[in-house]
């Protein structure tokens, strides 16, 4: 199981690469970009491990099932 530090390191590394690739251009919308790029794969993996059971997945994520359904819909995962 990945530890929180491992995930943080991956996100930090990806952001550093993002800034390098900008080559001096001014970034915008970084917060939303990061959340969307992290949230979808997280939902996919958790749903896989919950074998499609939304109640179990919501419990694993520590969120309400209705919130999970909303996020699955937003990411076209239903």
- The three-point CA angle 68-48-9 to 5° equals 80
Average pLDDT over residues 57-65: 98
Close Cβ partners of 5 (under 8 Å, ≥ 6 residues apart):
none
pTM, whole model, 2 decimals? 0.80
Alpha carbons 67 and 52: distance in angstroms, whole number? 15
pLDDT beyond 80 at 72: yes
Q: What is the pLDDT of residues 3-50, one digit of tens each?
A: 668 999 999 999 999 999 998 889 999 999 999 899 999 999 999 999
Go through the domains of the chain in sequence order and give each one's CATH number: 4-74 (1.10.10.60)
């Amino acid at each position: 199981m990945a530890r929180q530090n491992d995930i943080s390191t991956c996100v930090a590394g990806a952001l550093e690469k993002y800034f390098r690739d900008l080559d001096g251009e001014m970034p915008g919308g970084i917060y939303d970009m990061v959340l969307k790029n992290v949230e979808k794969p997280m939902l996919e993996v958790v749903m896989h491990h919950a074998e499609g059971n939304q109640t179990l997945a919501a419990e694993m994520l520590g969120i309400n099932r209705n919130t999970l359904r909303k996020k699955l819909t937003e990411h076209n995962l239903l």
